[in-house]
Amino acid sequence: MFQSGFTNPKFCTFARQIPQANAAAKITNLKMAKQQKYYVVWAGKNPGIYDNWNDCKSQVYQFENAKYKSFESKAEAESAYKQGYEKYYKSHPSPNNSAKQLLIAQDQPKPILRSLSVDAAWNSVTKVMEYRGVYTETGQEWFHKGPFPRATNNVGEFLAIVHGLALIKQKGYDIPIYTDSMTALSWVRKKKHNSVILPTEENEEVIELLQRAEHWLRTNEYTTPIYKWNTPVWGEIPADFGRK
């Protein structure tokens, strides 16, 4: 069984930078507090343009499929809002050299068994999340993290993919990753999660992991293909927790 990448001191940047990442995040937050930003809410309780994060957050928090983005100037925000979400992102694609690695496995008659499958489980009552990665062919567990309180399933799916990418790169493996979450695939492509979970004492650890995952994606190149698991054809992904 592989040692978890979040606890293994030899596990590259993703595992070693908790204090540094937190310190950098605090410094960044202090700097950003002095800089005016404008927030476009395309899909939320009251779509529009807001001049502070708290007002924006109140429009998107617990709003399903909320769509919003920050801008450095009011003019940029007004232009983006006028264009609409779809048109804006078509004309402003997120820079990501690894975007071509995010593929849907519909053209694969069978899954590639020499691969890593990842999945997350979330309890809708307790709000506790955990995630893991297993070797697709045998089901051998390569990593398992959690439980994390006050998290979401999408957060777990996202962390599982990035954990897998870091592990595969560190080990030098030439295998793809399978996930059954299109949302997590989108977050990885953008190198940023889109969860609106609020930081609390209870979920401090998972907020840390999200910061480190984003940092790893921004500072690492990878060639690992990430495929969408074809559940209707292949059944549940091997990393599934079997709690449905």
Please tell me the number of Cα atoms within 13 Å of 84 on its side-chain side. 2
Task: Name 122's bridge partners.
Answer: 129
Please tell me the pTM assigned to this model. Answer: 0.60
Greater model confidence, 61 or 131: 131
Write phi, then psi, for 66 (nearest 5 degrees).
-60, 145
Percent of the chain with pLDDT over 70: 77
CB 158, CB 188: distance < 8 Å: yes
Per-residue pLDDT, 78 = 94
Task: Output the pLDDT for position 82.
Answer: 92
Contacts of 244 (CB under 8 A, 6+ apart): none
5, pLDDT greater than 50:
no
- Of residues 239 and 15, more confidently modeled: 239
Mean pLDDT, the chain, rounded, equals 80
> What is the token pair recorded at 3?
């040692």
Q: What does the pLDDT look like over 36-60, one tens digit per residue?
A: 889 899 888 999 999 988 888 888 7
Mean pLDDT of 230-243: 87
Does residue 234 sit in helix, strand or coil? helix
Which one is predicted more confidently, 162 or 194? Answer: 162
What Å distances lie between residue 145 and 94, 106, 117, 126, CA to CA?
29, 29, 14, 17
Q: Which helix (H) or strand (E) holds 131?
A: strand 129-135
Only one residue has tokens 């605090």, namely 26
